Every structure is written in C-alpha cells, then in structure tokens.
Structure 1
Amino acid sequence: MNASVGDRLHVHGNAVGQPDRSGEIIEVRGAEGGPPYTVRFDDGHTGLVFPGPDAVIETPAREHVHADR
C-alpha cells in the first residue's frame, strides 16, 4: 500500500454497527509512500494509522499543467 499527501484513506468498519471512517493523509512516514500515515479524519480527529486489509487509499484526480513549447 502506497500513498501521497493529499490522498484519502477509507477504513471500512469491520464489525456490525461500526461505521466507516475516512480522512485526508497529511503526512507519509514510511519509505516510498508506505505506512504509517498521519491522517486527519473527517470528524476532526488526527492520528497515526497503520492501515490493514480493511483500508483503501483513493488518489484524487490531479490537474496536469503543460508547459508552453
């Protein structure tokens, strides 16, 4: 699992009644985009996360700027 700052982490609830959690990755502490990640969750909580198999990283579409030739 690799991520960049600005990607979103979604952690699926793994028990009945446990809601999914999602947030923005604000720091990548592992080598080459690997975990752990510092995540600012949508509820305002910030924490260090070592994502498990119940997590998905989504990369937002990035704008490409083309230089004039």
Structure 2
Amino acid sequence: MPEADRNGALAALALNLARRLDAGPAGLRDTASVARELRATLVEIANRVVPLPEADPLDDLAERRASRRATG
C-alpha cells in the first residue's frame, strides 16, 4: 500500500474506530455501529490496494529457458 494511503484519512479513521472498539464496553448499538463503520472503512482501503500479479509457472519456465539459451 502506498505511503500516502497508510498515513491518509482512511487509515486514521480505521485506527480511530478500532481503538474505540478496543476501549472497552460501550452500548450494543454503539459497538455495532462502530464495527460496521470499521468494516466499511477496511473494505474501502482494501479496494484501493492494487493486486499483485499472480505468478505463472509457464512464464517462469519460459524465462529459465531463455536464460539457458542466452548463456549456453
């Protein structure tokens, strides 16, 4: 995740909401609403993350083959 996102408003909001949940007993309605907002915030953060490309065994094989041909 980029540095700007780690230090951004959504990350700060997620930390604040998590701290509120960890703070201890609150009313059930408050706890439920904070948990719901935390979950929504985490989903939004997760949606901003660019997925890494999956490793393809065929690409790895082709790269090794090309490497062998180039050196031998």
Verify same fold: TM over 0.5: no
Larger fraction in strand:
1
Decide which structure has the larger Cα Rg and report it: 2
TM-score under structure 2 length normalisation: 0.25
